[in-house]
Amino acid sequence: DVKVTQSSRYLVKRTGEKVFLECVQDMDHENMFWYRQDPGLGLRLIYFSYDVKMKEKGDIPEGYSVSREKKERFSLILESASTNQTSMYLCASSFRIRGTEAFFGQGTRLTVV
């Protein structure tokens, strides 16, 4: 079974903290994605990576950065967390083949206080 694992299910951080969200996949997928999910807004893409050390901005990259040092791991970094970054964060991965489905992790619910 494909497995996409996010390091935390729930996280509470203080405003201004640097926050790391980690995601690991075990299927040798080239693509990895970070989305955030907010009520009424659906899933919005923050960043994605199509190879080690490669990344592309998504639709809402402001306030975030990412790191992909190994193929199986994709980290989302909030340099200075703010309350408007309180959200559900979803990691996904897929093969770099047109039309292939993405597999999702269980999500990290981040609360910034």
Partner 1 sequence: AQKVTQAQTEISVVEKEDVTLDCVYETRDTTYYLFWYKQPPSGELVFLIRRNSFDEQNEISGRYSWNFQKSTSSFNFTITASQVVDSAVYFCALSELTQGGSEKLVFGKGTKLTVNP
Using a 10 angstrom Cβ sphere, with 0-12 exposed, 13-18 middle and 19 or more buried, the burial of residue 53 is: exposed
Provide the pairing of β-strand 31-38 with 87-94. antiparallel
> How many angstroms separate the CA atoms of 49 and 39, rounded?
25
Least spacing, CB of residue 104 vs partner 1, in Å:
4
| Nearer Cβ to partner 1 (14/40) | 40
Q: Which CB atom, from 18 or from 76, has the smaller least distance to partner 1?
A: 76
Pick the closer one to partner 1 by CB: 47 or 81. Answer: 47
How far apart CA 77 and CA 73 sit, in angstroms, is 13
How near is the Cβ of 62 to partner 1 at its closest, in Å? Answer: 17
E strand or H helix at 66: strand 64-70
Residues that bind partner 1 (CB under 8 A): 31, 33, 35, 40-45, 48, 50, 56, 58, 88, 90, 92, 96, 98-99, 101-107
Q: Which is nearer to partner 1, 10 or 14 (CB)?
A: 10
Write down the least CB distance from residue 66 to partner 1, Å: 14
Q: How far is the CB of 52 from partner 1 (least distance, A)?
A: 14
C-beta separation of 34 from 23 below 8 A: yes
